[in-house]
């Protein structure tokens, strides 16, 4: 026994002496895998993802032994760079979106060029670069080994192919051990890929990224495989749905009217409820919400495509793509859209935007959706006032009104989408140019100890903060909307027009910004400590629920003065407007909110919300929203529906399922006619 122990010690000692660079690569890579989970999902001590990280690093590292010892550093350092960059990118992404980046984002990398300031100002933090230590460690060890003549010594004893084989076997053993720890839920979520936080928690970052790389190839690969199974699921899903078209007091109420959709960039409901020094942040939106139909519990359902996802979901009542974006990867599919259905009723469809038409591929996408024309940037507007990413909203709306007037004179009815821009992250350009009008300080009266008289004192509060800049930007956007409504009215364009205003998504501000807002102490100009009795906790659920955006349906002649408090999602807009305007989409995943007894909003990551509960599918826990409890059967029912809705929607997108289904139905009808 003593001989075996001594032999093991000697072999281990000899192994580490002649594999220092490889061991450094493995240890640093695994530690960074642990570190990224520690700074994001928090389960850094869990064995399962550590085993997955170790297996992948060993398998990748094994191939390094096919290089001569003097060249191995280049191989291991290249992979260290790859792993480090993955950690940095995902750390930044998780900080802002509470999710992990997808390889499919590379397809939208050109979009990032136009929002570079936002990346620098809103995304990067010092902690996101702590992973660089791996590269520094590799460089230090390599220099040390060179000085000691390590590579020459190892070259005399190393048998590369044998070490590669042994290392590969070790990696496969770790992989097998890891696989034995998986359950059916783990495997199912890995294949579906949409629940990214869960996958990283159970599989580690490296396995997630490897699987995501495969998923990113689906736009090219998926249409070739698995269609029959997905087509069967598609038919069963829609065959089992209630196809009854229900009517209510809003049915056909706006039939024959023009429609102007205002795509209100990054405006959250949170901002509409705020005042600073007795001045409303959004006086115009508040007025319109009180006069129209205001949906105060409305959520966007966007994914990595942000604004483009919201446009897609609103116009089709489908969910965003699981991998990639519809705007970049799947824009050429045949979708049932609002513009197409209104075109059948004689409408002229147009869109306008103060940015390049190429941004989010809108020139192609909007044509595919059924818009007759897109007015954009330098092609159709004079660039007389630039703020942030492009033409300012006030100039954009001012120049748009004559164009809408011309359209109204040449077409009986029109459907127009106005895409706002100034309130786009990073929100600071407005302030830098001195065009902000809202003060976000905290003014209060106090007694001057020297004079004994009362005087007004100002505490900075949100001045100079990201949330403060955002609210100043929202105030500007609100002013632009008010100006637009007034200008339309002066031209007589509101007499037969429905105005729909929707926030496309939340501002993507960090949770810490809201924690500061709710716990600011103006008398000390600091944030309250968590143990202070006045401290207000703002947890992850508060943050998620705070991401709701406004939806307002308004007309000049009808004062509805109605607030709809039922929970509603972007995919419910099309059916709700369809009921009002007299069109219907058989493939809509959402519902007419006025015909639905209990609505559920499904998010692209598998989370969902009803009026009673918000359910986090990653953590498999529910957050109660009302005193009325929800049963475990309802949790299972809605979770099953969420998975089905995401899967069916993705099948429609990837396989162009609507077009193929319509072609099949046409063939069936032709055969029926032929056969009498």
Q: Where are the alpha helices (DSSP H) in 420-465?
A: 429-432
Which residue from 581, 409, 404, 413 is spatially nearest to 496, judged by alpha carbons? 413
Residue holding tokens 């000697």? 10
Q: Is the dihedral of CA 464, 467, 468, 469 positive or negative?
A: positive
pLDDT band at 225 (very low <50, low <70, confident <90, very high): low
What's the pLDDT score for residue 590?
Answer: 97
d(CA 590, CA 479): 32
Beta bridge partners of 416: 260, 350
How many C-beta atoms lie closer than 10 Å to residue 419's C-beta?
A: 25
Give residue-wise pLDDT tens across range 382-438. 999 999 989 999 999 999 999 999 999 999 999 999 999 999 988 999 999 999 999
Give residue-wise pLDDT tens across range 511-539. 999 999 999 999 999 999 999 999 999 99
The answer to whether 566 and 590 have CB atoms below 8 angstroms apart is: no
Beta bridge partners of 390: 387
The DSSP secondary-structure symbol of 226 reads S
For the packed helices 632-655 and 657-674, what is the interaxial angle rounded to 10 degrees?
A: 80
> Looking at the predicted structure, is the pLDDT value of residue 4 above 70?
no
What does the block give as tokens for 43?
């389960």
The answer to whether 265 and 477 have CB atoms below 8 angstroms apart is: yes
Which residue from 477, 570, 501, 489 is spatially nearest to 260, judged by alpha carbons? 501
Q: Is the dihedral of CA 295, 297, 300, 301 positive or negative?
A: negative
- CB within 8 A of 367, min separation 6: which ones? 374
Q: Is the dihedral of CA 423, 426, 429, 434 positive or negative?
A: positive
pLDDT band at 374 (very low <50, low <70, confident <90, very high): very high
**Average pLDDT value for residue range 661-671:** 81
> For the CA atoms of 209, 212, 214, 217, what is the dihedral angle to 10 degrees?
-130
**Average pLDDT value for residue range 331-342:** 97
Hey, what domains does the chain have and what are their CATH numbers?
10-216 (no CATH), 252-425+468-600 (3.40.720.10)
What's the pLDDT score for residue 101?
Answer: 80
> Looking at the predicted structure, is the pLDDT value of residue 235 above 60?
yes
The answer to whether 619 and 588 have CB atoms below 8 angstroms apart is: no
Number of helices (H), then strands (E), in the chain: 28, 22
- CB within 8 A of 43, min separation 6: which ones? 37, 49, 201
What does the block give as tokens for 514?
């809201």
Q: Could you tell me where the beta strands, DSSP code E, fall in 201-335?
A: 258-264, 275-276, 279-280, 293-295, 298-299
């Amino acid at each position: 026994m003593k001989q075996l122990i001594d032999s093991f010690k000697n072999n281990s000692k000899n192994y580490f002496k002649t594999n220092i660079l490889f061991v450094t690569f493995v240890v640093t890579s695994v530690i960074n895998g642990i570190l990224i989970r520690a700074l994001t999902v928090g389960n850094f001590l869990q064995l399962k993802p550590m085993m997955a990280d170790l297996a992948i690093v060993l398998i990748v590292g094994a191939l390094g032994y096919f290089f001569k010892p003097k060249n191995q550093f280049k191989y291991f350092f290249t992979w260290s760079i790859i792993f480090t960059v993955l950690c940095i990118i995902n750390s930044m992404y998780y900080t802002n979106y509470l999710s992990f980046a997808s390889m499919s984002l590379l397809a939208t990398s050109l979009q990032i060029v136009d929002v570079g300031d936002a990346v620098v100002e809103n995304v990067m933090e010092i902690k996101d670069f702590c992973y660089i230590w791996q590269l520094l460690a590799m460089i230090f060890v390599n220099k040390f080994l060179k000085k000691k003549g390590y590579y020459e010594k190892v070259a005399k004893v190393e048998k590369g192919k044998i070490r590669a084989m042994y290392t590969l076997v070790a990696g496969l053993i770790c992989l097998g051990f890891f696989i034995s720890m998986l359950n059916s839920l783990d495997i199912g979520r890995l294949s579906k890929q949409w629940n990214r936080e869960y996958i990283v928690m159970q599989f580690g970052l490296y396995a997630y990224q490897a699987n995501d790389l495969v998923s990113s190839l689906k736009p090219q690969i998926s249409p070739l495989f698995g269609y029959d199974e997905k087509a069967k699921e598609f038919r069963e899903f829609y065959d089992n749905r209630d196809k009854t078209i229900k009517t209510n007091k809003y049915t056909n109420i706006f039939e024959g009217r023009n429609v102007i959709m205002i795509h209100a960039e990054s405006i959250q409901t949170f901002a509409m409820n705020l005042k600073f020094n007795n001045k409303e942040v959004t006086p115009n939106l508040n007025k319109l919400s009180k006069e129209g139909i205001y949906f105060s519990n409305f959520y966007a359902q966007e994914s990595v495509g942000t604004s483009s996802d919201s446009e897609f979901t609103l116009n089709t009542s489908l969910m965003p793509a699981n991998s990639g974006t519809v705007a970049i990867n799947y824009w050429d599919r045949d979708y049932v859209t609002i513009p197409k259905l209104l075109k059948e009723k004689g409408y002229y469809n147009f869109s306008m935007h103060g940015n390049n038409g190429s941004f989010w591929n809108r020139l192609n996408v909007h044509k595919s959706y059924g818009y007759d024309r897109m007015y954009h940037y330098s092609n159709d507007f004079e660039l007389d006032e630039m703020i942030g990413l492009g033409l300012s909203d006030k100039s954009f709306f001012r120049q748009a009104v004559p164009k809408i007037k011309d359209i109204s004179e040449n077409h009986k009815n029109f459907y127009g989408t106005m895409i706002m821009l100034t309130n786009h992250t990073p929100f600071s350009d407005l302030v830098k140019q001195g065009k902000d009008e809202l003060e976000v300080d905290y003014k209060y009266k106090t007694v001057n100890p020297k004079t004994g008289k009362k005087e007004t004192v100002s505490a900075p509060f949100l001045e100079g903060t990201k949330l403060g800049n955002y609210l100043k930007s929202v105030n500007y956007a609100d002013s632009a909307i008010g100006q637009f409504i007034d200008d339309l009215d002066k031209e007589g364009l509101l007499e037969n027009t429905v105005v729909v205003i929707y926030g496309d998504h939340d501002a993507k501000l960090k949770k810490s910004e809201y924690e500061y807002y709710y716990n600011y102490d103006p008398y000390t100009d600091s944030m309250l400590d968590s143990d202070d009795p006045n401290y207000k906790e703002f947890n992850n659920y508060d943050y998620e629920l705070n991401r709701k955006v406004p939806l307002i349906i308004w007309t000049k002649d009808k004062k509805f003065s109605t607030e709809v408090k039922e929970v509603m999602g972007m995919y419910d807009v099309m059916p709700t407007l369809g009921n009002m305007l007299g069109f219907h989409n058989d493939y809509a995943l959402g519902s007419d909110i006025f015909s639905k007894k209990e609505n559920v909003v499904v998010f692209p990551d598998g989370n969902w919300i009803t009026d009673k509960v918000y359910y986090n599918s990653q953590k498999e826990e529910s957050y109660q929203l009302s005193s009325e409890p929800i049963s475990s059967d309802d949790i299972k029912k809605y979770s099953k529906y969420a998975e089905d809705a995401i899967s069916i929607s993705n099948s429609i997108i990837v396989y162009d399922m609507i077009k193929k289904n319509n072609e099949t139905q046409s063939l069936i009808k032709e055969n029926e006619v032929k056969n009498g």
